[in-house]
Amino acid sequence: MNIFILEDDLFQQQNLRRTIEKISQEEKISYKNLIVTAKPDVLLENLTLASLHNLYFLDLEIAEYDKTGLEVAQRIRKQDPFGTIVFITTHSEMAPLTFAYKVSALDFIEKDQKEETIIKRIRECLLLANMRIEKSISDDALIFKNKFTNLQVPYSDIYY
């Protein structure tokens, strides 16, 4: 799993990074890359790192951009249809708008909540994303792994 953070506020960016690293260590959640950026273009360029399961924490508004988090989420969904998207923002009034963009977000975390509540919600998102990885591996499938990819093919799809 790769974890991506799109946040323009440096303090919140580093706080979110530390929170994710701490929870991952406590819960024994492993990830390949933790990519933190304030620029949507950098995040979109790094989508080539996409693994089978990715987790995206996106701020809805990025300085000098309008509705960036939502537009980035749409682009992510096109390239990574199985990725898990979590919006984390101070703009709670924009929550209904996330449905109009049809990006299937897992959660919408408001930054102006108590810190314990935010940490709890981030923990839940990380645990759920990790659980999805574990459940995607079937006992009734041929699994091929190498350093570039993990491939899972149901035995019923194999002819020879």
Residue spans of the domains in the chain: they are: 2-157
What is the rounded CA–CA span in Å between residue 100 and residue 137? 32
User: Which SS3 state, helix, strand or coil, does residue 50 take?
Assistant: coil
Does the structural domain 2-157 have CATH classification 3.40.50.2300? yes
Cα separation, 83 vs 3, in Å, equals 10
Is this model's pTM higher than 0.75 or not? yes
Tokens 């580093």 -> residue = 14
As a whole number of angstroms, the distance between CA 59 and CA 39 comes to 11
- Cα gap 124→132, rounded to integer Å: 12
Residue-by-residue pLDDT tens, the chain, 160 positions: 899 999 999 999 999 999 999 999 999 999 989 999 999 988 988 887 656 679 999 998 887 776 678 899 999 998 888 889 999 988 777 777 778 788 888 999 999 999 999 999 999 999 999 888 766 555 677 777 887 777 777 777 787 7
